[in-house]
Structure 1
Amino acid sequence: MLHCFYVKKEDRDLLRFLWHEDNDLDKEIIEYRMKVHTFGNSPSPAIATYGLRKAADSVKQDYGEDVCEFVHNNFYVDDDAIAAAAFLRTVSQGGDVEVSFVLGKAKPAPTGGHTVPRLELCAAVLATQIKDTVVSSLGINFDKVKMYTDSRIVLVYIFNSTRRFYVFVANRVQRIRNSTEPKQWTYVNTNDNPADEGTRSITTLRMQKCMWLNGPKFLQESPGEINATAKESFPLVNPVSDKDVRPEVTKTSVTDGGNFDVTTLFERHSEWDSFVQGLSYLIHLARSFKKSENPCKGWHKCSKHKKANFKRETELFILLSVQRKHFAKEIECLQSHRKLPKDSSILSLTPVLDSHGLLRVGGRLNKANESQLSTDCNPIIIPKGCYVGLLIVRNCHQKVQHQGRHLTEGVVRSSGYWIIGGKRLIASCIHACVTCRKMRGSLGTQKMADLSVSRITPSAPFSYVGVDVFGPW
């Protein structure tokens, strides 16, 4: 705005500065003169205000006298300073209201060409700092602390809870909300804002009766009238065009629930125990958000997922997921009491379904009760080439302290698992085991050195060998 007001040629000597010719640091320093008024120059705001009012007077006949008066009374340039003031309002038992000036402060606006909303936000931060100083210094238990600003955009920033801001606005809004609550902030008309007088020029005759020292008139009203005008909301209006509001980034992911394979997530783990413990913790957290009767609520840390029954429940979930992926047809046939397909890989095992829906190896004990069935007689079937089977084999191999294939296979069977192609899987697991390769590696042998020259060179007898024929016998 200041660049719209030119400086007369005869007055440009008052706005001189020294700088390199053609903005080249290698050239000599010459004298420049300003053609327009610039931001930061002390008289620039007053000149801009004067020019604005003169422009309004020149079009009074075209737009009317009321428009001209509105510009004279409400338009001014105060981009070079921000101000805030604190007042103490007391009400006596008789209902008399007294408003006293406590603390006021004005300081230059931050440099950098900030916009007017940003400067108003800096003024709100200044008001918050003054509030903290007054509350901590006076040592009075205040019934209520109210904050006022004549910028609706600042109130929108303070009341916002849905969108994110860029760093400049975000840091200052966070500073304001650390000391105050949004419900403490209220809009005040510019004419009733005493802080504006801290940024304008004022004559000494008006100093005694100015709002900066006496406070606004609305503070003299009854508490009921003040509270009636304070209930107002300030939602974001067209946040897309606001450069201080971050744009919303929407991430959309489409997943076909019918084709999603949860078992692919199992391959991110290398140990069976840690896998079961981690998954049990996730299941416990998921239930804490859904089930109302669960004593655990929301995100938390506890040890309930480490209990044996919860661990066994997680293992059954893993095994059910694996079997439903590889043996979907077999499970469907058994549930509908139909025969298994002839090309089924587990047809020779005569599988049966237990109460959990798991496929187990069948036998001649199908008429026994569920409690009488043991894991040795009816082990759970693990598909061939399944990553869960590899984790189980690794876990059992560690339990036998890296013994051979037969002991590892025995622990797998005693744990209640029947892995299809288990012997080959166990052999490959032991072959890839680093600990086993170290313990079962072949011993190193010393390579014999070359024969000496004396042993390979033809020579007379006893040239290099002597015989003691006189020694004691």
Structure 2
Amino acid sequence: MEEMERVVRCFRDFRDFIPRMHFHDSWIRTTEKKIHVFRDASEVAISAVAYVENKGQYGFILGKSNLAPLHGHSIPRLELCGAVLAVEIAQSVSEQLEISIEHFKFYCDSKVVLGYISNHSRRFYQYVSNRVMKIHKVTKSEQWFYIRSERNPTDEATRPIHATELQHSKWLEGPEQSELYPSSQEKILYELIDPESDKEIKQEVRCLKTNTSEFVIAIFVRHHHDSLKHQGRHLTEGAIGAAGYWITSGKRLFSSVLRNYVPCKKLRSKEAIQKMADTPKDRLEPNPPFTNVGVDVFGPWQVVSRKTRGGCASLKRCLVLSSEPYTLRL
């Protein structure tokens, strides 16, 4: 019960010292309005906060802090989620204050995330790719800058802190002018940090173009086609692609090679139909009996077999058949 009363008292105190005005001057009279958005993340929480700057003075606009997921998220992923939260806050501020988001500046203390946002050469897996795409839809990579962690005002929202300590914290008062980076308008692009070992980055695909004769390519295609047990053109093309090769004009080449490949011709040929010869003319023309006679000899059959002094004596018979074509007249 005492803990509950202490929490309620903290919220009452917190309500009293929240600044209701961005500056001492009127918002309408403010000529130079620059919006700075900061973000940070830890294993406990994800936070983002926006400030407006006018002549070296900073005013608190909007801040938000979310609990981090318990499982399945690495620190770079949480840092990237913080960048997405910063973009969402920037969209809300831009809509309410009617300030173009192109004039916003975003600050991040993670060079890994800055490398993700500035990257235009490597591909990411789905989780990182979707969130980087959300950031690029709203902001440009030139709007993101690096700030050291000890100077990041959102760091206080990612760790437990008593409500009364927020009154004089950077979370409400904003950063100092000397802490913002960079002071110049130079275009800064951040490289990917160790892309070969980063699990969020896909392996780089290297393309090598070679001039190879069609005879060698045909042998190469037949090799992969035989390994698939003559499965067809589409599967052969997929097997070659899985092996890391890409053949230009492959559809025409594969069709030509497989169409003229002898084993495929035999496997894909139609069933043969026995062709019968025409009936001889002598069987169709009327003639006198025994004009044309057919003779067939077959055998021999063994009829009797007996042993003799010299070996074995056997009696065999052969048969002769004769046939005569005839015409039946009615």
TM-score computed with the length of structure 1 as normaliser: 0.35
Greater helix fraction, Structure 1 or Structure 2: 1
Q: Which has the higher strand share?
A: 2
Taking structure 2 as the reference length, the TM-score comes to 0.49
